[in-house]
Structure 1
């Protein structure tokens, strides 16, 4: 037991007297706690299942409607709205009111926002500005919630001080609880409801109206799952069905991502949508923490490139050598890019908290909306009957207006006039009062026509309203039709993708780091580079390709390196791991998906890339030929530097060709071939050239005439089916502007000669031609491409080694043969 002390005042005593009342402490605490719990449950934390609003949200929308803050009017300061709500309807702090106002204005929180906010209403990572800095008005969807309040559609209850009336529930022309969801923590219970798509929810509600005994599976054909404001993906639908059946369940939400090349040398994961209520800063912070703790590997940088124009864009840069798919799976596992949403559909039904499934939620709303439409129809019926009664009396007065005026003029006062009108014309009290208030401008012939038309329209409307109120099916059809109009006017496409299952984790089948598997590194004539996913022989498809030709191909591994040989005699190391990968193909490889060489090597002006070679010692040495006719075989003892010289060039000289001798380091069997600008071809054994170190300047390869230069250097297997391709033109024409003459000759037509000799003629110039603009020798099938990479046709091979060419259809930029190791074409 405990004592409660109260003070009483006797009538004749100035001092207070104490009165002690014995109470039970346990009963007092139970009663106080139950009152508090009931207040929190009913008046704060849980939404009403009918309009889907908590009391504070309902009071905000009602107060804004009373203030006239319609969507077609200007915004007002949020602090004004907060003050009006707090002073009239909500007996709590301004912070709670403003927080509720902000939430109803945030498009990332509400699937269909009810407040149109102007200013900083916050983001997923930052809170809103103070109420004095923001402005608000009702959103178009809020009118659907408040329209009909003046037509006796819902009950009104006193406010906290019994001075004003407020609606106990809003009319709610759409299922707001399912569309916008809800969250709240009460005493001993909580609610957490996911947003849904307006069109889908209304479709399910209309189906329930037409088929009251439908099953949950029937409704889920319309509502397959939540539709979150930020989009994203929902993985696994079993928990959703449980929630729709019992009111409790869960599902996983995933960010929407794509793996793309963010720079020519880097792959990245681009995040465009995040799970519900997850902000990019939260994701970035978690990624950095996991990277620092070494729980997350393969990430080199994270950038938030979100803006108003493009929306969310979070770029996660993946380190070279790591599989982006495996890194993405780690991100799903260790960061909020995959989140769990627990559904707990608790809402107030008849003032009592209940856990509701999908069908129960729709049933409560449909019954409520049906009652709203019925009450609205009854209100409109009363109003139209009252108006019809007045119009009928006015028509009686207009038919004999002169006598009406005489009765009024002859009466002593208004009361007498009203009584005499009622007696003379058999009118009711409202009719007589309305006639006395009649304006003289209504006493025209046209006014009588208007009244008769109004009477006919009122009778028609009354008949329709009575028919609807008398037929439950017609009433439900009206409710369904209004819902369809709402969906048509305010519906939006689904944003969230629903996935039955995430499948097997990528990390279970795909290693995190790229394996050092064999592959090919390819260089095209237009300067694109890429690597294949396997080391399988590259098919040539009969020597034809729709685009580009491969001028360099090296068999290596994914983590290996290749060397780029340039016209200034340098070799630049390139990592195969940094190159984009090409998908497997059944045709001739095309590097249209490759990356430009300039992304990996910054060559100065005047230095051109020639080809790529292997850096492995066992791959064989490299042979170089210069424009001045110098030839050199380079030993394969390459340093570990990023770039180095492989030949010492004289002033003004440049390398015109480089080739890897694949048949042996010491005793190669290939022929080395020079072709000069004056159409001289020299072939001699590669074994005739002694290997030199990188600092060597080479030896004489071909004897040049005065003013001439070598235009081609390469290697040809004398036992292979090879051809020589030459293209002639005028030395005065701009490069690439003149197609010239083109000739293809079997390589066997040219005899071998000794090194440092003059060679034999390989092309006869036509009139106006004085130089070879392009030449090539190699194994068939030979493939040609223009400067833009488009494949060009070559003429058939002829037997005349010194014959003239045929007119070419277009200028040829590069010629190449099949990739070494590939099957030969026909």
Structure 2
């Protein structure tokens, strides 16, 4: 254990005098805090209004310039740059220096980057790589900041240890503070300035140079608002004007979005530009959180397809039934896709923090640039006058070369030679020394001509520079011309769109307002397997000429936000959302169904399985009626499972298949079977008892021999209806014969009891032994080819058991009509020489 008793202390020296100073703590804290605040304000956080740079940024650019890291040189490690800056000029942490260097190289932070970075310099969401992995050099625009730095254009001051010097401000050949903006938090104050377009700012500065008394409204004609590096939109210009007038104001930034058809079935919102300082990962995370918490509805999927070639691309897939524009407004309201930017134009002017408007910012820069060009002109004139003085001495020496040589040879030393040259040829000390230092090879006749030309050129340049210095107006013209050249070389088109207002009311949207209206509609299935819906639930007219794909196999009433069932030949019903279906615009004559989508896009069919009809999912409907090839009929109780999208609605016997499915309007409807041996049976739907989904149905029609049911449907006996049959040979290959067609009035067929054989629907002629096609439905009947091309049917005959007439085109399907369209091919009987079409059948 440590022995406390053995501890010893060294006694103070005999001449030690203890001094304890009593101070006021509040006074010491006040003084220390003010010193700290002064250091933060002037040496770290606030930019100079002249060059728009903070001290650390200025030191980075100056050090890189001194290191020779020009745009035409290779990149060097950022750690080398940081070390040079920290060791010579900025005695602070390397992290702060590297962070400033990174921002100068980020194109999403700077409107005109000043550092050309090589490597991972981060993104709006991610930090950059460590300085040992990245490289940098000055960007071309940075050369505008440091040019003429060696021509006495700005003052220099000692560095922190007095061993080096650094510029107090950069020459800045363009208004960097307005172009690139800045952010900084000092003590008791902060700055937040938005980037602007170089061409617009230069135009305003040139206007101010030409008209020093220009008003803010005049300047805003050139600078209407910020131009953010990431593009997007700015909503509301009043806040921008407030900032330009007083130095403080706010505006709203919005992402650039478009509503596109991203898949054949769904629309989506494509985001290509985000607000300033907002990254895609931040937006994606926020949207996912809102969807998970059910605060935002209507979004089905979200993909970030951003890459280096196409740039930013966020694809937000919208659920069917939701209005994309309404969902987009909610995204603006709830996510960083819309952000507020608060302008606070605080900068150092003559070493004092000031809040500046647009005019003051431009004026400070213009005054600085005028001073830089004036000092540069004075420096250049002084250098040219000094050179002209030397040239004059050399010319004197060349004109008297022999005497000069004699004087030099006869002198004891260089000091005597310089003195004698000054006395003999009336030269100054500088001229005489220069003549002595000039090699003899320079004193030729050719050099005399060169010196004469150089003298003339120097005299001309001195006169030009003197004219600039003598005329303030000429000086302003030079500054304006140089700014115009900078804008021409480095200017880029505006990226940010300025909008006076969003054009919509900014009120929170409910899930109902996000969704489309749940209006009544009619879901349609064409003979070619196209699905669509109409916003008008009224019965569709069937008169007039028709267009392709307008023959309906099945129709069912629903609502825009409801569901319908697609019934297949295997007895399956697959749920389909009505909102997923394309909408046919309403009109007096409904258009073609060619704008529909194939049913295969909504359900997956097994090999050999076909779609036979549509059914309503409404539990209050009369129910679905099914008919099978073996003559079975079934009415399904509309109690469908809510947690399944695919389920059975009938249990089929082996080898049987559903041939028709129709939604009943009432129990008074007729159910109709038509068989391959041309028998038609109609009976009341009330005679069929509704059954549950697992049931196998009951006898519908009695079949003879090898006959099978070819058609099943339901009709309203109070409405006009047609029966269409096409007879042919059972031994012919499908689709190779046109057959004989007949159209009869449905009223000609008497009603019979269920499970009976029915009555004959068509008399077979020679070569005919089966029905190729049969249909019964509301008049007028419409026919199409297998590809949906409209075909005209023969005229109606009065006899229900009459024979058909030869057709000229093969009919693929018969059904109800969607409406008017194009002229059709005629499929009427082909006339013979004797004038009788029926003779052709024998």
Q: For the structure 1 residues 291 and 630, does the alpha-carbon distance in structure 2 shift closer, same or farther, using more than 3 Å as the test?
A: closer
Distance in 2 (alpha carbons) for counterparts of 1:539 and 1:48: 77
The question of 1:570 aligning with 2:567 is answered no
| Partner deviation per Cα, 1:773-805 (whole Å, 9 max, x = no partner) | 999976458475875xxx745458667984444
Shift of 1:168: 0.7
User: What does 1:77-92 correspond to in 2, within 5 Å?
Assistant: 77-92=77-92
Q: Partner residue of 1:236?
A: 236
Distance in 1 (alpha carbons) for counterparts of 2:98 and 2:526: 63
Distance in 2 (alpha carbons) for counterparts of 1:722 and 1:395: 119
Shift of 1:371: 1.8
Q: For the structure 1 residues 522 and 467, does the alpha-carbon distance in structure 2 shift closer, same or farther, using more than 3 Å as the test?
A: farther
Q: For the structure 1 residues 293 and 559, does the alpha-carbon distance in structure 2 shift closer, same or farther, using more than 3 Å as the test?
A: closer
Q: Is the 8 A contact 1:329 1:506 kept in 2?
A: no
Q: Partner residue of 1:505?
A: 506
Q: Is the 8 A contact 1:519 1:532 kept in 2?
A: yes
Q: Is the 8 A contact 1:725 1:742 kept in 2?
A: no
The question of 1:642 aligning with 2:639 is answered no
Matched residue SS, 2:473: helix
Q: For the structure 1 residues 630 and 721, does the alpha-carbon distance in structure 2 shift closer, same or farther, using more than 3 Å as the test?
A: closer
Matched residue SS, 1:354: strand
Distance in 2 (alpha carbons) for counterparts of 1:765 and 1:378: 114
Q: Partner residue of 1:555?
A: 557
Distance in 2 (alpha carbons) for counterparts of 1:586 and 1:440: 105
Q: For the structure 1 residues 751 and 82, does the alpha-carbon distance in structure 2 shift closer, same or farther, using more than 3 Å as the test?
A: same
Matched residue SS, 1:511: helix
Shift of 1:574: 2.1
Q: Is the 8 A contact 1:561 1:615 kept in 2?
A: yes
Distance in 1 (alpha carbons) for counterparts of 2:543 and 2:74: 69
Matched residue SS, 2:132: helix
Matched residue SS, 1:150: coil
Q: Partner residue of 2:94?
A: 94
Distance in 2 (alpha carbons) for counterparts of 1:427 and 1:421: 7
Q: For the structure 1 residues 645 and 27, does the alpha-carbon distance in structure 2 shift closer, same or farther, using more than 3 Å as the test?
A: closer
Matched residue SS, 1:473: helix
**Structure 1: where are the runs of 5+ without partners?**
1-12
Distance in 2 (alpha carbons) for counterparts of 1:540 and 1:345: 71
Which stretch shifts more, 355-364 or 225-234?
A: 225-234
Shift of 1:296: 4.7
Shift of 1:243: 1.0
Distance in 2 (alpha carbons) for counterparts of 1:490 and 1:596: 53
| Partner deviation per Cα, 1:332-361 (whole Å, 9 max, x = no partner) | 444433322221111111111111111111
Q: Partner residue of 1:194?
A: 194
Which of 1 and 2 has greater Rg? Answer: 2
Distance in 1 (alpha carbons) for counterparts of 2:153 and 2:548: 71
Shift of 1:390: 3.6
Q: Partner residue of 1:248?
A: 248
Q: Is the 8 A contact 2:617 2:640 kept in 1?
A: no
Distance in 2 (alpha carbons) for counterparts of 1:400 and 1:723: 128
Q: Partner residue of 2:274?
A: 274
| Partner deviation per Cα, 1:4-33 (whole Å, 9 max, x = no partner) | xxxxxxxxx983545677766555444433
Distance in 2 (alpha carbons) for counterparts of 1:613 and 1:209: 77
Matched residue SS, 1:100: helix
Shift of 1:86: 1.0
Q: Is the 8 A contact 1:247 1:358 kept in 2?
A: yes
The question of 1:691 aligning with 2:688 is answered yes
The question of 1:159 aligning with 2:159 is answered yes
Distance in 2 (alpha carbons) for counterparts of 1:385 and 1:209: 30
| Partner deviation per Cα, 1:225-253 (whole Å, 9 max, x = no partner) | 22222233322222221111111111222
Distance in 2 (alpha carbons) for counterparts of 1:87 and 1:227: 37
**Structure 2: where are the runs of 5+ without partners?**
1-12, 798-802, 824-842
Distance in 2 (alpha carbons) for counterparts of 1:545 and 1:440: 101
TM superposition score normalised by structure 1: 0.81
Which stretch shifts more, 388-397 or 98-107?
A: 388-397
Distance in 2 (alpha carbons) for counterparts of 1:539 and 1:201: 64
Q: Is the 8 A contact 1:539 1:589 kept in 2?
A: no
**Equivalent in 584, 593, 600 of residue 602 of structure 2:** 600
Q: For the structure 1 residues 807 and 590, does the alpha-carbon distance in structure 2 shift closer, same or farther, using more than 3 Å as the test?
A: closer
Q: Partner residue of 1:215?
A: 215
Q: Is the 8 A contact 2:667 2:685 kept in 1?
A: no
Q: Is the 8 A contact 1:672 1:716 kept in 2?
A: no
Q: For the structure 1 residues 699 and 57, does the alpha-carbon distance in structure 2 shift closer, same or farther, using more than 3 Å as the test?
A: same
Matched residue SS, 2:166: strand
The question of 1:122 aligning with 2:122 is answered yes
| Partner deviation per Cα, 1:514-533 (whole Å, 9 max, x = no partner) | 55442333445665545555
Shift of 1:493: 2.8
Q: Is the 8 A contact 2:254 2:338 kept in 1?
A: yes
Q: Is the 8 A contact 2:180 2:195 kept in 1?
A: yes
Q: Is the 8 A contact 1:321 1:577 kept in 2?
A: yes
Which stretch shifts more, 125-134 or 617-626?
A: 617-626
User: What does 1:779-798 correspond to in 2, within 5 Å?
Assistant: 779-780=779-780, 782=782, 784=784, 787=787, 792=789, 794=791
Q: For the structure 1 residues 327 and 397, does the alpha-carbon distance in structure 2 shift closer, same or farther, using more than 3 Å as the test?
A: same
Q: Is the 8 A contact 2:669 2:685 kept in 1?
A: no
Distance in 2 (alpha carbons) for counterparts of 1:309 and 1:409: 74
Shift of 1:179: 1.5
Q: Is the 8 A contact 1:671 1:717 kept in 2?
A: no
Computed over aligned residues only, the root mean square deviation of the Cα atoms, in angstroms, reads 4.5
What is the total number of aligned residue pairs between the two structures?
Answer: 791
Shift of 1:54: 0.7
Q: For the structure 1 residues 147 and 577, does the alpha-carbon distance in structure 2 shift closer, same or farther, using more than 3 Å as the test?
A: same
Q: Is the 8 A contact 1:148 1:171 kept in 2?
A: yes
Matched residue SS, 1:343: strand
Shift of 1:101: 1.3
Distance in 2 (alpha carbons) for counterparts of 1:400 and 1:268: 89
Shift of 1:363: 1.2
Q: Partner residue of 2:373?
A: 373
